[in-house]
């Protein structure tokens, strides 16, 4: 199925048409509430679950913790500031994961939702694109990503009832991912090296700021 969405990306409208962008952001907030309230008993990508392929890990938080510890190890191998704090960061991840209580239902999330993944149609409604990663997961993972990508505009997308323990764990995990990922790219011949380096440095600062 193909649809011509003529209004352009939401990201660009923030500067060119703030009123239209604000309306689309409100529409997106309503859409996310519907998605996140649609629950499933298992977590993982929708297409794989339909094939009875289950995700690894004992829980969402266990999966996030495992990946975060791997990202921490890789970031420490490539960055002296993370290396110096690797023990404290690892302990903090374990501490935050231990605070999370078990959950038996998972919400439907986009999983990589930034303003560049939202188009606006001719009527001003938000349209999600790049939905191949649609999954059932802890909705807090989506909200952490939304906080990072929408910044001060996240307030329009926030929802009550989120688990603060999951938010804390997922935020640190995502910061470490945004250190390790760019540094991995810099191992190769990535062209815009200063941009990737700036992402790694910014998220190094943010990750270290999350230590007690």
Residues of the chain below pLDDT 70: 1-2
What letter would DSSP give residue 116? Answer: G
pLDDT digits 0-9 by tens, 94-106: 999 999 999 999 9
Question: What is the gyration radius of the CA atoms in the chain, in angstroms?
Answer: 18
Q: Please list, in sequence order, all residues whose beta carbon lies within 8 angstroms of the beta carbon of residue 58, skipping any fewer than 6 positions away.
A: none
The pTM for the full model equals: 0.94
- Domain ranges, ordered by start, for the chain: 10-205
Q: Which helix (H) or strand (E) holds 120?
A: strand 118-120
Tokens 């929408």 belong to: 150
Q: Give the chain's end-to-end CA distance (angstroms, integer).
A: 49
- Tell which CATH classification among 2.120.10.30, 3.50.50.60, 3.40.190.10, 3.90.1200.10 matches the domain 10-205: 3.90.1200.10
* Contact between residue 119 and residue 9 where contact means Cβ atoms under 8 Å apart: yes
Q: How open is the CA angle 194-211-172, to the nearest 5 degrees?
A: 60
What pLDDT score was predicted for residue 78? Answer: 93
What pLDDT score was predicted for residue 125? Answer: 92
Separation between Cα atoms, residue 79 and residue 9, nearest integer Å: 35
Distances (CA, A) of 124 to 29, 30, 117, 130, 149: 14, 14, 15, 19, 21
What pLDDT score was predicted for residue 1? Answer: 62
């Amino acid at each position: 199925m193909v649809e011509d969405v003529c209004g352009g990306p939401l990201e660009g409208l923030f500067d060119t048409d703030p009123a239209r962008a604000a309306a689309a952001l409100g529409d997106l907030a309503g859409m996310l509430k519907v998605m996140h309230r649609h629950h499933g008993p298992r977590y993982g990508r929708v297409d794989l679950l339909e094939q009875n392929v289950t995700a690894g890990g004992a829980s969402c938080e266990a999966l996030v913790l495992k990946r975060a510890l791997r990202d921490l190890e890789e970031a420490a191998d490539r960055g002296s500031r993370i290396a110096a704090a690797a023990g404290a960061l690892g302990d903090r991840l374990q501490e935050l994961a231990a605070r999370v209580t078990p959950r038996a239902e998972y919400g439907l999330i986009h999983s990589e939702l930034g303003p560049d993944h939202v188009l606006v149609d001719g009527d001003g409604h938000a349209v999600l694109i790049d939905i191949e990663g649609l999954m059932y997961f802890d909705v807090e993972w989506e909200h952490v990503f939304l906080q990072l990508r929408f910044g001060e505009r996240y307030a329009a997308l926030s929802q009550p009832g989120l688990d603060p323990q999951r938010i804390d764990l997922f935020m640190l995990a995502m910061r470490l991912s945004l250190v390790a990922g760019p540094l991995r790219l810099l191992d190769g011949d990535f062209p815009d090296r200063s941009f990737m380096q700036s992402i790694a440095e910014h998220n190094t600062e943010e990750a270290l700021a999350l230590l007690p």
